[in-house]
Structure 1
Amino acid sequence: MIRILIRKFAEVLLFMLIITFISFLFIRLAPGDPVLTILNVDELSVSQEQVEALREEMGFNKPLLAQYGLWLLDFVRLDFGHSYVTGQSVMEMILTGLPATLELTAGALLIMLVVSVPLGSLAALHRNSWIDQISRILSIIGAAVPSFWLGLIFIDLFGVRLNWLPTMGRDGFLSLLLPSLTLGLAISGVYVRLLRSSLLDSLSQEFIRAARSRGLSERRIFVMHAFRHSLPPVITVFGVSLGSLIGGVVVVEVLFAYPGIGKLVVDAVRQRDYPLIQGYILIMAAFVFVVNTAVDLSYRYLNPEMKLKEREAWS
């Protein structure tokens, strides 16, 4: 385990170095000038001397690699800088919006589990039955419908026509329902089909027939053997698709005016707020790396064969 953690630590250092350089380069090469945004040149009369003075003060007149080096030194000290628009610390702004984003993500994952686990399990246990047919139809619809379109339908139905649920802001549990449903149902379709396929493969394995020959109940066989054996492919896809989930959170937050870091970074992109965009990218990159590391480590529990292979490799 210690060797794995040391290797993961080396990987995260290389990963963060690459992601910081690429994101810094792409942000600086994007169209738009933050200096002009800060000075509000569309509303105020600003001289070229003032523009150049502010650009020199912010370090934009230096070579790109020099700018990256200075930023990297601040990043090593965990200083993400200050927003060009508000003047607030980038870390404080991200930490302020992070709880709302985590709530929305947790709510969406809960909806996904509530929908995909029972539906995928029933579809596998009753293969080619009416339950299986319904699960196929629902999963295809869920995978085909964009999250923003589903969100607009929910806003029109539950917010405008029925007036049951709030459609904007973050004010208690009810305001979390529609965004969570929108994102959770949008990602459930993929996992219903994946879990069904993985369970069918597990139920056809030799160890399942051996467990039945020992007289174990079907419920115990399914929960303790088949379901556990089917989880690694599902968890692998979840780790790979985590970036899409984060992208979905951004779309849903903007759609429902939910005050998370997704909506915050969309505003930052529109205002050319480089430090806030860079901070968001790094936080999300670190989050994705941590989750994928947890996925890798979970294989050791879900698949004991991997632990044996690692021991043989190190011996």
Structure 2
Amino acid sequence: MRVSKVDPATAYAKRAIGNPTELQIENIRSSMGFDKPLLVQYFSWLKGLFQMDLGKSLVSGYSVWDEIWKAFPKTLLIVGISSIIQFISIIVIGSLMFILKNKLIRRLFKVLCIVGISVPSFYISTLFLDIFGVKYNLISVTNNIGFKGSIPPAICLAVFIICFYVPLFYNGLIKESNEDYSMYLRCQGLSEFKILINHLIPNGILGIIPSFLQSIGLSIAGATVIERVFSVPGFGYLIVNSVIERDAPMIHSTVFFLAFFIALMNIIADIINERIEGERS
């Protein structure tokens, strides 16, 4: 933002005045504190953070807090729905790969997972919107709010995570099936299906839960571009608009909360991982 030729003061002056003079831009820059060294601006913002005062948006004029709390629930809804889709899909697809003995089908699943990881989420979102929104008119192209409107972006957000974790979960099932307890269960006469449902899947889930929780934090970041494609007025949409409009107070605060949420999910994942390791030991 500082390297750009259009700084926050210039962007604000053009929106407010239309064709501002250099003197008007300098006066705005001075009144907003953008003329001070970056280190001074940073500590000034940090002081405001501890006082729960993040300033006002340079675009809307409303409090940054109000703008964030208005947008964040929409993103949490998308991420929540996406996480449920991810979790169910990982278990179902991973289990199918384990059950099916056909090597060709397993390789097909692995190829699809590689494709799903490789294709950018914004391309998947655009393609999804073009097919189901424009061509078949099954979903709304704009104003995707509420539970129903959150499902399409949630599906697109889930693709990468599903394709990333399915091979991990499948490998976990293979590993668990080769453990001693699996052999003892087979000796007791339990079918492979019962062993899978009652023992392998629960232990396989425990193996991916810590890193899966970390991915939920990253999904907040991943929703940024997807919300823009689906016109969801959520947290990610707010970040992109703030960057485009050079809305400095909003950029500082949204990036902070994004980092805070990712760090929080990492901490929770570490705590759960320690407990799982403690129980296993």
User: Where on the TM-score scale, by shorter chain, does this alignment land: which range?
Assistant: 0.7 to 0.9
Matched, 1:149 2:128: no
Q: 1:127 to 1:246 in 2, by over 3 A?
A: farther
Q: 1:213-245: CA deviations, max 9, x gaps? A: 455564554345323333355234435545653
Q: 1:42 to 1:273 in 2, by over 3 A?
A: closer
In the other structure, the counterpart of 2:269 is 295
Distance 1:42 1:291 in 2: 40
How many residues are treated as equivalent by the alignment?
A: 281
Q: 1:187-213: CA deviations, max 9, x gaps? A: 311111111112111211223223444
State the TM-score, normalizing by the size of structure 2.
0.88
**Aligned equivalent of 2:41, options 67, 72, 85:** 67
Letter in structure 2 aligned against 1:174: K
Shift of 1:83: 0.7
State the TM-score, normalizing by the size of structure 1.
0.79
Distance 1:47 1:219 in 2: 75
Shift of 1:38: 1.0
In the other structure, the counterpart of 2:247 is 273
Q: 1:93 to 1:223 in 2, by over 3 A?
A: same
In the other structure, the counterpart of 1:178 is 152
Shift of 1:61: 2.2
Does structure 2 retain, via aligned residues, the 8 Å contact 1:122–1:131?
A: no
Matched, 1:166 2:140: yes
Letter in structure 1 aligned against 2:139: L
In the other structure, the counterpart of 2:50 is 76
Q: 1:129-167: CA deviations, max 9, x gaps? A: 454244223322322322222222222222222222212
Distance 1:273 1:244 in 2: 23
In the other structure, the counterpart of 1:285 is 259
In the other structure, the counterpart of 2:74 is 100
**Aligned equivalent of 2:227, options 243, 253, 257:** 253
Does structure 1 retain, via aligned residues, the 8 Å contact 2:143–2:231?
A: yes
Alignment of 1:1-315 (within 5 A): 28=2, 32-40=6-14, 44-129=18-103, 131-214=105-188, 218-219=192-193, 221-239=195-213, 241-242=215-216, 244-305=218-279
SS of residue paired to 1:40: helix
SS of residue paired to 1:182: helix
Structure 2 gap ranges (5+) = none
Shift of 1:43: 6.8
Q: 1:29 to 1:238 in 2, by over 3 A?
A: farther
Does structure 2 retain, via aligned residues, the 8 Å contact 1:228–1:302?
A: no
Distance 1:30 1:240 in 2: 33
Shift of 1:105: 0.9
SS of residue paired to 1:166: coil
Moved over 6 A (4+): none
Identity of aligned residues (%): 31
Shift of 1:55: 1.5
Range that drifts further, 39-48 or 242-251: 39-48
Shift of 1:264: 1.1
Q: 1:155-182: CA deviations, max 9, x gaps? A: 2222222222212212444322321222
Shift of 1:295: 0.9
Distance 1:187 1:148 in 2: 14
Distance 1:49 1:230 in 2: 65
Does structure 2 retain, via aligned residues, the 8 Å contact 1:85–1:271?
A: yes
Distance 2:20 2:35 in 1: 18
Q: 1:214 to 1:294 in 2, by over 3 A?
A: farther
SS of residue paired to 1:79: coil
